[in-house]
């Protein structure tokens, strides 16, 4: 068991799966896929339930748990239950558990760690796929985010709109959201951002878009997120905050990286577009440096 346990002696379930993924057997990878897609099944099911869903043996399920560094399935199950509970804690609960000390120092440490964990742990293949989707002028792009991340998502959407046509930031009432989603054709792209305690309206809108053939780029807090199971490109964001609310610094950095990569991919056409925008701004006197 010692060799198996070496894959994960700390960290959450998602981190352990990521660290051990390179040495998993095909059966263990199928188990990992089920854990990512349906954490409730593991949290409240049995070894037999997980084995049946993953088309694997019960022994493969147990070996998967020990490979991640857990004592067995029950230990893995308890870890997933704990993480699900933590993710769903409202701000009203978190505010009661704030540690004392220097808030500014904690903000610096947590923010730097969030950006580093988000970018250093990035799945480069998923990132490159996301950039290719966003840089394809033949695909419409809908940018959508939960209420907490709407500001930075809109900023990224506005920047994408200056680099290429057919980009829309989706939001507002259910009627407006529905109109935007209805315009998407199969193969168009949804760039969605949301972290734990997910906005139900966003999940329903994204689910409908994917069901109609849209490709989803999901920026979310891990493979246990409900957005993960729908995604073509899953980009994991570290959202741990220092107070009662999530920290979107990692998401902001990841969106900046996506926009920069799209700009690089579309350099020739984007340069002409930005020149036209700049000339128009100057003609309208829209901006000032003083």
User: pLDDT tens digit string along 198-208?
Assistant: 899 999 999 99
| Residues forming CATH 3.40.50.10490 domain(s) in the chain | 106-283
pLDDT(94) > 50:
no
Give CA 161 to chain center in angstroms.
Answer: 21
Helix extents (H) in the chain: 2-5, 13-20, 26-37, 39-44, 47-54, 58-67, 73-87, 91-94, 103-120, 124-134, 150-163, 174-182, 200-211, 249-265, 267-284
* CATH number for the segment(s) 2-87: 1.10.10.10
Fold of 106-283: Rossmann fold (3.40.50)
Higher pLDDT pick, 282 / 138? 138
| Residues forming CATH 1.10.10.10 domain(s) in the chain | 2-87
Which band of pLDDT confidence, cut at 50, 70 and 90, is reported for residue 5?
A: very low
pLDDT(8) > 50:
no
* Burial (0-12, 13-18, 19+ Cβ within 10 Å), 165: exposed
Residue 41: its H or E element = helix 39-44
Residues above pLDDT 90, as percent of the chain:
49
Give CA 30 to chain center in angstroms.
Answer: 21
- pLDDT tens digits for 166-204? 999 999 888 999 999 999 999 999 999 998 778 999 999
Mean per-residue pLDDT of the chain: 85
Prediction pTM value:
0.69
How far apart CA 220 and CA 237 sit, in angstroms, is 5
């Amino acid at each position: 068991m010692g060799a198996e346990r070496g894959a994960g002696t700390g960290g959450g379930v998602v981190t352990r799966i990521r660290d051990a993924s390179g040495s998993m057997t095909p059966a263990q990878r199928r188990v990992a896929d089920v854990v990512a897609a349906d954490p409730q099944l593991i949290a409240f099911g049995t070894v037999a339930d997980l084995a049946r869903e993953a088309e694997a043996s019960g022994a493969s399920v147990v070996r998967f748990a020990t490979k991640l560094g857990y004592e067995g399935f029950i230990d893995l199950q308890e870890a997933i239950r704990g993480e699900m509970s933590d993710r769903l804690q409202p701000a009203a609960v978190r505010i009661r558990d704030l540690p004392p000390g220097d808030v500014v120092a904690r903000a610096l440490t947590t923010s730097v760690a969030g950006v580093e964990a988000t970018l250093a742990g990035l799945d480069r293949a998923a990132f490159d796929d996301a950039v290719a989707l966003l840089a394809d002028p033949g695909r419409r792009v809908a940018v959508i985010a939960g209420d907490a991340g709407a500001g930075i998502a809109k900023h990224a959407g506005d920047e994408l709109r200056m680099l290429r046509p057919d980009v829309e930031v989706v939001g507002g009432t259910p009627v407006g959201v529905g109109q935007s989603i209805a315009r998407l054709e199969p193969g168009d792209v949804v760039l969605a951002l949301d972290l734990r305690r997910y906005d139900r309206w966003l999940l329903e809108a994204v689910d409908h878009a994917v069901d109609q053939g849209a490709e989803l780029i999901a920026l979310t807090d891990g493979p246990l997120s409900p957005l993960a199971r729908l995604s073509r490109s899953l980009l994991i964001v570290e959202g741990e905050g220092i107070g009662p609310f999530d920290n979107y610094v990692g998401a902001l950095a990841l969106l900046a990286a996506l926009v920069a990569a799209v700009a690089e991919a579309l350099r020739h056409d984007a340069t002409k577009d930005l020149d036209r925008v700049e000339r128009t701004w100057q003609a309208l006197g829209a901006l000032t440096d003083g």
